[in-house]
Chain A
C-alpha cells in the first residue's frame, strides 16, 4: 500500500498537495436503521487544522455521522477518508469493498474519539487508561507510553490523578482523561460526541477549555455539541444537520446570527427560548 503518512510527493491514494488535501472527506454517505434513513447522501470535507462543529436537533443524525467516521456505525453508501486513507470501504471501480477488520482497526487508531459518557476503563488507573492503547495497539514501550501519558495528563491539568481509578474522579475530570486517552494515539483528527452533555453545568467549562487548547494547537476536530456559545468560539465552520442531511453550513456568525434557512432559524429560536435566563 502506498505511504500516505505525511510526504506530499509520495504516491499516496490522494495525490493532491498536502495543504489542499482534506484531512477528512465524507462523500455521499447514507445510513439507515431498519426502515429509518438517518443519513442521506451526506458529504463534508474538513481541512487540516479546521474545527467543524455539527449542530442540529436530537435524532438529526449528527452523532450517527460522527460514529460513521470511525466505523462504530456501518454505513450503506458512500466513502469516508481520513488524510486520504479510506475508512471502512475502498472503491474499486464502481464496486465498494469492505476493508478487513485489521485495516479498519488500523484506520481507527488514527482517529481520536471522545464519548458523551467518557467510557474510561474502570479497572485501570488514569495513567494506564491513557497508556494502554499505545502499548497494546501500537506496541510502544510501556515507559515511553507512560511518560507521554504524564505529559498529556499535565496538558489537561490532571497530573495529580495519574494513580487514581476513574470512579474517584468527577465527570469533568473523567472527560479530560478521555481526551488525553484519545490524544495518546497521536490521532490525525479528533471526534467529540456531545462530550459535555453528561456533565454538571459547573464542570462543562474545564472540558471545553481543554478542547479549546487543542483547537488552538492546530488539531483537526469534528465536534457535535449543544453548547452554542462554545460553538461560536471554537468553530471555523458550523454545520447544521436535520433529517439526515446537511441543511446549512458556514462561518459561526453566519449560521448563528444570520441563518439562510427557516429550519436553522427555528432550531436556534427553540434553543434560545429554552436557554434564556
Chain B
C-alpha cells in the first residue's frame, strides 16, 4: 500500500547513503563546470580554430542524450583498456554535457556587458586582468546567477542517470529497493522527496547568492 510510513522510515537511511553519493557527484560536477564552462566560453569567443573547436564541442554535447554520453564514456574507456569506475565515468559525462550548457550561460553573461564598459575601464588605464576582475566579471556573475541556479538544479536531477552505470546513488539504491521490496510507489516517492530537498537547498543557495551579488540595473 502507498504511504507506508514504517517502510519509508526503513528506506530513509539507505536513501540518505545514496544522497551522499548524489551530492558528491553534483557538487563536483557544478564546481568543475563553473571552471570548465568558463574556459570553453573564453575559447569560443576567440576567432579561428579554437573558437570553432569550442563551438563544435558545445553543439555535440548539447545535442546528444546524457545517458548515451555516459555509456560511451563508460564502455569506451573499458574498451580502450583502462576502465573508469562508474562514478568517474558518470562525473566525466556530466561535466562534458553540463560544461557545454554552462559555457553558453557564461557567453550570455559576457555578451550582456556593454562594450562601453570595457572602454570606460580602458580609458581609466586598466589592463586586461584589472578590467576583467574589476569591471566585467562582477557584472557577469550578477547576471548569470539565476541561470546558473537552474543549471545546478538540473545537474542534481541529471545525476540520477548514473544509476545506469551502477553507481550507488539515490536512483540506483531506489531501484534495488524496488526489486527487493516490490513497494515501487513508496520507494520512488521517498527518492523524489530526497531530490526535492536537495534541489530546494540549491535554489536557496542561488537566492542567497543573488542577494549578495545583484545590483540595481
Cβ contact within 8 Å between A165 and B215: yes
Cβ contact within 8 Å between B126 and A137: yes
Residues of A within 8 A of B138 (CB): 123
Using A123-B138, A167-B217 as known contacts, say yes or no to A185 and B124 having CB atoms under 8 A apart.
yes
CB distance from A188 to the nearest CB of B (A): 12
- Which of B17-25, B31-39, B115-123, B201-209 has 4 or more CB atoms under 8 Å from chain A? B115-123
Residues of A within 8 A of B119 (CB): 72, 115, 119
Most buried by B among A70, A105, A117, A185: A105
Q: Give a binary string over A87-125; 1 marks a CB under 8 Å from any B CB, 0 the rest.
A: 000000000000001100110111111010101111100
The reply on B46 being an interface residue by CB < 8 A is no
A102 to B114, CA, bound (A): 23
Residues of B within 8 A of A123 (CB): 138-139, 142, 215
Cβ contact within 8 Å between A168 and B126: no
A136 to B142, CA, bound (A): 21
Instruction: List the 6 closest A-B pairs by CB distance, nearest first.
Output: A109-B125, A119-B120, A133-B124, A113-B123, A167-B216, A137-B125
Most buried by B among A109, A113, A136, A182: A136
A181 to B130, CA, bound (A): 16
Residues of B within 8 A of A70 (CB): 123
Most buried by A among B123, B128, B134: B123
User: Among A112, A115, A138, A165, which residue has its beta carbon within 8 angstroms of that of B116?
Assistant: A115
The reply on B165 being an interface residue by CB < 8 A is no
User: Among B114, B130, B216, which residue has its beta carbon within 8 angstroms of that of A137?
Assistant: B130
Q: Give a binary string over B165-200; 1 marks a CB under 8 Å from any A CB, 0 the rest.
A: 000000000000000000000000000000000000
The reply on B211 being an interface residue by CB < 8 A is no
Interface residues on chain B, size class: 20 to 34
Total interface residues in chain A, CB < 8 Å: 30
Using A165-B216, A167-B217 as known contacts, say yes or no to A121 and B126 having CB atoms under 8 A apart.
no
User: Among B123, B125, B128, B215, which residue has its beta carbon within 8 angstroms of that of A122?
Assistant: B215
Q: Which of B126-145 contact A (CB under 8 A)?
A: 126-128, 130, 134-135, 138-139, 142
A101 to B127, CA, bound (A): 7
**Nearest B-chain residue to A129, judged by Cβ:** B120
Residues of A within 8 A of B123 (CB): 70, 72, 108, 111-113, 115, 182
CB distance from A83 to the nearest CB of B (A): 15
CB distance from B4 to the nearest CB of A (A): 52
Cβ contact within 8 Å between A133 and B139: no
**Nearest A-chain residue to B137, judged by Cβ:** A123
**Nearest B-chain residue to A178, judged by Cβ:** B120
**Nearest B-chain residue to A110, judged by Cβ:** B125
A167 to B142, CA, bound (A): 15
The reply on A241 being an interface residue by CB < 8 A is no
CB distance from B151 to the nearest CB of A (A): 22
Residues of A within 8 A of B114 (CB): 119
The reply on A264 being an interface residue by CB < 8 A is no
CB distance from B63 to the nearest CB of A (A): 35
Some 12 contacts from A to B, beta carbons below 8 A apart, are A108-B124, A111-B123, A113-B123, A115-B119, A119-B116, A121-B120, A122-B215, A122-B216, A123-B142, A123-B215, A165-B216, A182-B124
Residues of B within 8 A of A138 (CB): 125
The reply on A38 being an interface residue by CB < 8 A is no
The reply on A224 being an interface residue by CB < 8 A is no
A119 to B128, CA, bound (A): 18
The reply on A132 being an interface residue by CB < 8 A is yes
A70 to B216, CA, bound (A): 30
Most buried by B among A70, A106, A120: A70
CB distance from B38 to the nearest CB of A (A): 18
* Known contacts A108-B125, A136-B130; 4 further A-B pairs (Cβ under 8 A): A102-B127, A105-B122, A113-B123, A137-B125
